[in-house]
Amino acid sequence: MIYDISPVIDAELRVWPGDVPPTREIQSDIARGDLVTQSVLRTTVHVGAHVDAPSHYGVTGATIDRCEVDAFIGPCQVIRVDVEPGQALQPADVRTTLLADRVLFATGTYPDPREFREDFAALSPELLDVLAANRVRLVGIDTPSVDLFRADGLPVHRRAFEHGMLLLEGIRLEAVPDGLHELIALPLRLAGFDGSPVRAVLRSEHA
């Protein structure tokens, strides 16, 4: 069973306020009699399901082309949490044993990527400390950011940098059962960039 956990990237997809939304420019089109159809995509690299490179939140951090590929492929645990919109997940909110070094949190607080909501749930620095103590190397969330919308100084991003933890944001988990899966979320090898969109999928034995 394969679960596609990436939102569709089109003109209706909302990005972080101030970021460049996705637009498509058609340079040539078979329907117009051209030999091939050829398009140009213009948007932020933090669009849809995307990975933040450490250089996005740390001045000495690795750019996305320098991140180890194996961090984005392997055993992954999906954990559904009961959290109110606008709240930061605390360690006490995670009521299950951590079983994998990649963890994705399903909060259900950002149901429609075509509508940007500021009251999505996020993570807390204290939770990242617990994840790091359990050797988690990548953490993901079904909201636009691991930090709350109005977080001062991006404390969760900074704590991720301290722990050497990679971040996967903007994923869709509403159809995915809790438990263990295999994550495949490869970023593009963009030299010098601070992140990359991904086609994130989970491969699972769950029906």
**Rounded Cα distance, 47 and 193, in Å:** 13
**Marked catalytic residue, from 56, 163, 181, 206:** 56
**Rounded Cα distance, 71 and 172, in Å:** 19
Among this protein's residues, is 56 annotated catalytic? yes
Decide if 160 contacts 146 (C-beta within 8 A).
yes
Residues recognised as catalytic: 56
